[in-house]
Amino acid sequence: MSQLVLRLAGPVSLTGPENENLTPRGMKARGALAVIGSSTGMRIARPKLQDLLFSERDAEHGSASLRQLLREIRIALGPHRAAMITGPGWVGFDNALVRLDMAGHVGVDGRRAEFAADLDIADPEFEDWLRDARIHYEDQADQVLAETVTDDAVPTLIVQVPVTSDAQSAVASAMVLQEAASRVADMLPIQVLNGDPGIGRIAVGIELGAMASRMGNDIVLLFTARLRSDGRMLWTRRFALPSDDMNAALRRIAGGVAVAIMHGLEHLRDVVPDASVRRMPLQDVFSYSASRLSRADEQLSQIDPNGDRAVILALRSYIRHTMLLERLSRDPDADSELAAEMAGRARELSPGNPTALGVNAMVAAWKGQFETSFDMARHAIAIDDENPIARLAYSSALTSMGYHREAEAEASAAHLSALSELGPAAWVLRRAIAATRVGDLKSAERYFATTHGYAPQNRPALRFLSAIRYQLGDETGAIDALRKLKKLEPDFTLELMASDQYPVESLRRAGLLRVTKSGLI
């Protein structure tokens, strides 16, 4: 039999496996639920329960009233009455059939719900008990939060049921919530849960909710994210869903919500003062700094010390791929093999994960396996054509296969999507390379300059800028790019740039290495 859920924070309620309401109507019957649920093992002596609820009646009448009250609870349980159990002198709930939820729902003011908030029983013994129980609940709430976090805790995204005014608004908001949560789970090591499992089960994470209502023919959607531990508002996002272009708008909105979730998860460690909460180093993963990339790799390895989480392995492989492209690796051969091993392992663990497939495509391209890279990238796009790493891999694979116009179109479209915000420099760079390969050098120069503005430590942008500016007759601009590159790569020379070992294959194929014979530095 599936579990029933007894909730004692906020109004007392008992719900069934299909969320059906099994709560008795009588005030004293709900009081009995609160007492039983708060007792050790959810069992209490019958005389104790009788004294709390019927202290002003004589023993005989009190006993009869208790029997009637327990009968009322069993009737409310209906087909689940086996959940209430009795023994010699005691009554309670079967722990295997009833789960206690002491979390409740955080109110709009960010405050926790009061314990048994709906109870008002005019019995002096019960009033004393309820007052003490509420004080105990408040004192223990923060301790419960701390004790439920494990050492290797990862954040949880709790997707709540949308609050809507009509069926179509409900479907639209639920679709966005589910798609956004799925995209986040493909990119970050998190748990995603639908509904509220209770604060005793999950304490760290973000509660994601939605409200939707009609405004004419359109639907207005408001998404909110609150901190699980204390209800603090993290962010809100408001969108209008036009009736004439609903499908495209839903994808765009889901992307925007996914980005907001990922930024919230990345900064969760800053707002939850708990050392067991792991930092999600997403911005560092998409950086071009040796120290930031190394820090991201170390943090990801702490989250996944056993190396059995596909998303983390894929991100760590992506980090090594970046270090290889940026000439940041101290041992390129070893890092190349490790990147391939991590990517392959990620794909084995989660064959349908678009991030894992995208990284596998990138690693294959680095090894010169362009057809394999193209097939893997197409597979990743077929699974999720909005995943940022899959789209990066696909645009790059199109370039490697000689489909330059298609690569430029993919890079341009992806650059304008909401998810490109996660690593804007990577997207502008990809767009710049695609423009270079189709011969649009003026646009390419503009995009490479923008890449440098986003990420001053990005070395490929400076390599391309020096070559393209020289090709366009801008020697001053070329010298500026070469000097900046020299600061990032102390061993850089124009002779090195001209060698087969230097990573400028795109420039070589485009015939843009005249700068190597310029003698500018």
What pLDDT, in 10s, does the model give residues 21-79?
999 999 999 999 999 998 888 899 898 999 999 988 888 888 999 999 999 999 999 99
- Does residue 407 sit within a domain? no
Lowest mean pLDDT among 109-113, 146-150, 246-250, 462-466: 146-150
For residue 366, give the CATH number of its domain. 1.25.40.10
Q: Are residues 176 and 217 in the same domain?
A: yes
Per the CB < 8 A criterion, the answer to whether 319 and 295 are in contact is no
Residue 513 and residue 504 in contact, taking contact as beta carbons nearer than 8 Å? yes
Query: Domain check: are 190 and 237 in the same one?
Result: yes
Same domain flag for 162 and 244: yes
Domain holding 173, by residue range, is 156-271
Mean pLDDT of the chain: 86
* Token digits of residue 426: 């990577």
List the helix and strand counts (H, then E) for the chain: 21, 12
Note whether 13 and 139 are same-domain residues: yes
Judge if 82 and 213 occupy the same domain: no
β-strand partners of 86: 91
Dist. CA 154–CA 152, nearest whole Å: 7
- Look at 270 and 34; give whichever has higher pLDDT: 34
Residues 317 and 388 in one domain: yes
Q: Tokens in use for 482?
A: 């070469």
pLDDT at 140: 57
Residue 73's pLDDT is 94
Q: What is the mean pLDDT of residues 219-241?
A: 88
Burial of 420 (0-12, 13-18, 19+ CB in 10 A): buried
More confident residue, 105 or 325: 325
Q: State residue 143's pLDDT score.
A: 45
Within a domain: residue 466? yes
Query: Does residue 418 belong to any structural domain of this protein?
Result: no
The pLDDT assigned to 365 comes to: 93
Element (H, E) at 359: helix 354-366
Tell me how far apart the 2 most distant CA atoms of the chain are, in Å: 107
Calculate mean pLDDT across residues 456-485: 95
Q: Determine the pLDDT at residue 104.
A: 52
What would the pLDDT profile of 426-436 be if each residue is shown by its tens digit?
A: 889 999 999 99
Q: In this model, does residue 320 exceed pLDDT 50?
A: yes
pLDDT of the residue at 150: 38
- Is 307 part of any domain? yes
User: By the 8 A CB rule, do 458 and 452 touch?
Assistant: yes
Q: Which residue intervals of 44-123 are DSSP H helices? A: 46-53, 59-77
Would you say residue 144 has pLDDT above 50? no
CA-closest candidate to residue 266, choices 386, 154, 431: 154
Q: Examine the domain organization and report whether 77 and 14 are in the same domain.
A: yes
Instruction: Kindly indicate the confidence band of residue 302, based on its pLDDT and cuts at 50, 70 and 90.
Output: confident
Give the C-alpha distances (Å, rounded to integers) separating 17 from 20, 97, 103.
Answer: 7, 10, 18
CA distance 25 to 43: 21
Sequence-distant (≥ 6) Cβ neighbours of residue 19 within 8 angstroms: none
Domain C-terminal end among 147, 166, 188: 147
Q: Give the count of domains, the chain.
A: 4
pLDDT band at residue 297, thresholds of 50, 70 and 90?
Answer: very high
| pLDDT for res 417 | 83
Residue 67 covered by a domain: yes
Q: Is residue 88 part of a domain?
A: yes
161 belongs to a structural domain: yes
User: Do residues 11 and 103 both lie within one domain?
Assistant: yes
Flag whether pLDDT at 1 surpasses 50: no
How do residues 186-204 score in pLDDT, each as one tens digit?
888 888 888 766 555 666 6
Q: Is 80 exceeded by the pLDDT of residue 167?
A: yes
By percentage, how much of the chain surpasses pLDDT 70? 91
For residues 131 and 189, membership in a common domain is answered with no
Q: Say which residue the tokens 């986003």 belong to.
A: 454
Q: Looking at 122, 147, 172, which one is the last position of a domain?
A: 147
The burial of 476, by beta-carbon neighbours within 10 Å (0-12 exposed, 13-18 middle, 19 or more buried), is given as: exposed
Q: Are residue 253 and residue 170 in the same domain, yes or no? A: yes
* DSSP line for 407-421: HHHHHHHHHTSGGGG
Which pLDDT belongs to residue 200? 52
Question: What is the distance between the terminal CA atoms of the chain, rounded to a whole angstrom?
Answer: 77
pLDDT per residue over 92-126, tens digit each? 999 889 988 876 544 433 455 788 888 999 888 99
Q: Read off the pLDDT of each residue in 217-240 and give the average, rounded to a whole number.
A: 88
CATH of the domain at 213: 3.40.50.10610
| pLDDT at residue 509 in the model | 85
Query: pLDDT at residue 139 above 60?
Result: no
pLDDT at 460: 92
Token pair listed for 154: 């990862």
Q: CA dist 156 to 165, 412, 438, Å?
A: 28, 33, 44
Reported as a pLDDT band with limits 50, 70 and 90, residue 289 is confident
Q: How far lies 493's CA from each of 1, 435, 498, in Å?
A: 72, 26, 9
Assess whether 299 and 177 both reside in one domain.
no
> Are 56 and 130 contained in the same domain?
yes
pLDDT at 198: 59
The answer on pLDDT for 345 being more than 50 is: yes
Q: At what angle do helices 46-53 and 27-38 cross, to 10 degrees?
A: 140
- Residue 413 in any domain: the answer is no
Q: Which two tokens stand for residue 402?
A: 């000689």
pTM: predicted TM-score of the whole model, two decimal places: 0.65
For residues 225-251, give the mean pLDDT.
85
Q: What angle do CA 131, 134, 138 make, to 5 degrees?
A: 140
The residue out of 93, 119, 147 marking a domain boundary is: 147
CATH number, position 108: 1.10.10.10
